[in-house]
């Protein structure tokens, strides 16, 4: 009788553990086919209705320009890669910022330099598995291949 009881307990625990396992749907692609160009409002909020995303950029602009007051003069360019990371830059930016999602927030994953003088006319393009950064003012400049880890091998820096 004791053996049957132990077997019953083991079966119940095993069924409970199987029922508690997380459900994972793979593969998933979170990429946006084209970049989003957005201007912050006077409070520093950027809202994109098409992809249902909104966030405050004051901390980002302070990090890049040491100015979080004149937020409306900046236009941001952003795109999302297949893994769900947000790439953000803009005119006069020296860096590209890569954000992941957090608990009701975008969390900086990596920031890497792409221009010593600041980008003149940046644009993002989706070229899986990478995000391409194009400086549209310089036609002879090759696109830079980016991932969440930075400029990729073969991508001009």
* Full strand arrangement of the beta sheet holding 106-113: 36-38, 76-80, 86-90, 95-101, 106-113
Residue 139 has pLDDT above 80, yes or no: no
Mean pLDDT, residues 74-97 taken together: 96
Query: Predicted confidence band at 18 (pLDDT cuts at 50, 70, 90)?
Result: low
Residue 93 is predicted with a pLDDT of 97
Query: Predicted confidence band at 11 (pLDDT cuts at 50, 70, 90)?
Result: confident
> Coil, strand or helix: which one is 12?
helix
Residue 143 has pLDDT above 70, yes or no: yes
Query: Predicted confidence band at 15 (pLDDT cuts at 50, 70, 90)?
Result: low
- In 3D space, the residue among 127, 131, 130 whose CA is nearest the CA of residue 88 turns out to be 131
Let me know how many helices (H) and strands (E) the chain has, helices first: 2, 11
User: What pTM does this model have?
Assistant: 0.82
Query: Predicted confidence band at 157 (pLDDT cuts at 50, 70, 90)?
Result: very low
Percent of the chain residues past pLDDT 90, beyond the cut: 61
Is residue 30 within 8 A of residue 82, CB to CB? The reply is: yes
């Amino acid at each position: 009788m004791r053996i049957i009881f132990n077997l019953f307990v083991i079966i119940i625990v095993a069924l409970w553990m199987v029922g508690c396992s997380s459900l994972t749907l793979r593969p998933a692609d979170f990429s946006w086919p084209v970049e989003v160009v957005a201007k912050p409002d006077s409070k520093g909020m950027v809202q994109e209705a098409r992809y249902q995303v909104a966030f405050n950029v004051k901390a980002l602009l302070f990090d890049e320009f040491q100015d979080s007051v004149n937020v409306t003069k900046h236009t941001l360019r952003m795109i999302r890669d297949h893994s769900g990371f947000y790439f953000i830059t803009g005119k006069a930016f020296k860096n590209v910022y890569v954000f992941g999602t957090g608990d009701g927030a975008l969390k900086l994953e990596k920031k890497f330099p792409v221009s010593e003088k600041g980008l003149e006319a940046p644009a993002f393009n989706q070229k899986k598995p990478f995000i391409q950064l194009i400086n549209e003012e310089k036609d002879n400049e090759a696109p830079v291949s980016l991932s969440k880890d930075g400029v990729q091998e073969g991508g001009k820096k």
